[in-house]
Amino acid sequence: MIDFLVSPFIEFAFMQRALLGAVLLSISSCPVGVFLMLRRMSLAGDAMAHAILPGAAIGFLLYGLAIVPMTIGGLIAGAVVALGAGAVSRFTLQKEDASLAAFYLISLALGVMIVSLRGSSVDLMHVLFGTVLALNDDALTLIGAICAITLVTLAVLWRGLVAECLDPLFLRSVSRIGTVVHFAFLALVVLNLVGGFQALGTLLSVGLMMLPAAAARFWTARVGPMCVLAVAIGLASSLSGLLLSYHAALPSGPAIVLSAGAAYLLSILFGTRGLMAVRSRHRHKAA
């Protein structure tokens, strides 16, 4: 059993790099996913994940699979979509979710078309689904830097982020920090999606961000423990997904996200705020 769990990470350097990248992503993106969920912006995270695709695709078109150009392109595209969707919802009658959906569909189609102009189907799969087993030093450095920036920002703006989850209009009415917190949080979302893009691609990067957060919601109502539990679920999902990928010869990115999905389904059933617990409380009240 120990050999089953440990030997892949001892024998192969690419497995060590994949595990390190997944651990850093879990520590960084899972707390961001918790705040996205509490702000009722879960689907916005999915839209933003696709929004980075055109910028990353332009970087690929110009420089191939080089990390720096694709990262810069993804950051610019994510910022443009976030600001554009916000501007549309602020200055027109359309709600933010509808404008995000429109920008997301345009971005996805544009990104796929740009990659197809130069790359093969293999390159398109790399951009859409990532290659966590092929992370190099540059990618790990980028993910580590994003993790550090995220943790520092969360520590500095923690109270503002929690307050905005409870009542954003009240926060903006009593403090000028409301706007700063809002845009700093959107920047963290884009950063973490860009980091996740390196390992899991644009289609799956939001999975490691949102599924552990959604699972943690069934175990606790407090924000701090929820973030810690989401990170723990993300770490367990990353480890189990990589082991499943290695031993069963499955794609690594989907295996990690499916492991997080399994944790979510188990949490729905057996969490302290899940279906079994709710039914048990109803039975006690009826008795």
The per-residue pLDDT for range 68-89, each reduced to its tens digit, is 888 888 888 888 877 777 677 6
Quote the CA–CA distance of 54 and 136 in Å, as a whole number: 23
Please check whether residue 260 is in contact with residue 208, taking contact to mean a CB–CB distance below 8 angstroms.
Answer: yes
**How far is it, in rounded angstroms, from Cα 89 to Cα 101?**
12
> Tokens 């959604």 map to which residue?
214
Q: What CATH number is attached to the domain comprising 156?
A: 1.10.3470.10
Does 98 score more than 80 pLDDT?
A: no
DSSP state letter for 287: -
What tens digit of pLDDT does each residue of 237-261 get? 999 999 999 989 888 888 999 999 9
Q: What distances in angstroms separate CA 176 from CA 156, 182, 184, 200, one per listed residue?
A: 15, 11, 13, 36
pLDDT band at 27 (very low <50, low <70, confident <90, very high): very high
Q: pLDDT digit string (tens) for 36-55?
A: 888 887 777 777 777 788 88
Kindly provide the residue ranges of all beta strands, DSSP E only, lying in 20-167, ordered along the sequence: none
- Provide the percentage of residues in the chain whose pLDDT is more than 90: 32
Q: Cα separations (Å) of 19 from 127, 216, 230, 261? A: 20, 22, 17, 18
Element housing 273 (H / E): none
Is residue 120 predicted with pLDDT exceeding 80? no
Number of separate domains in the chain: 1
**Mean pLDDT score of the chain:** 84
Q: Domain containing 271: what range?
A: 2-286
Q: Does pLDDT of 265 surpass 90?
A: yes
Q: How confident is the model at residue 276 (pLDDT cuts 50, 70, 90)?
A: confident
Q: Which pLDDT belongs to residue 131?
A: 77
Long-range (24+ apart) CB contacts under 8 A made by 150-154 are: 150/28, 150/29, 150/31, 150/32, 150/188, 150/191, 150/192, 151/27, 151/28, 153/184, 153/188, 154/31, 154/32, 154/188
Give the pLDDT confidence of 125-159 residue by residue, as tens digits. Answer: 777 777 788 888 888 998 999 999 999 999 999 98
Question: Residue 152 has what pLDDT?
Answer: 96
Q: In which element (H, E) is residue 90 found?
A: helix 67-91
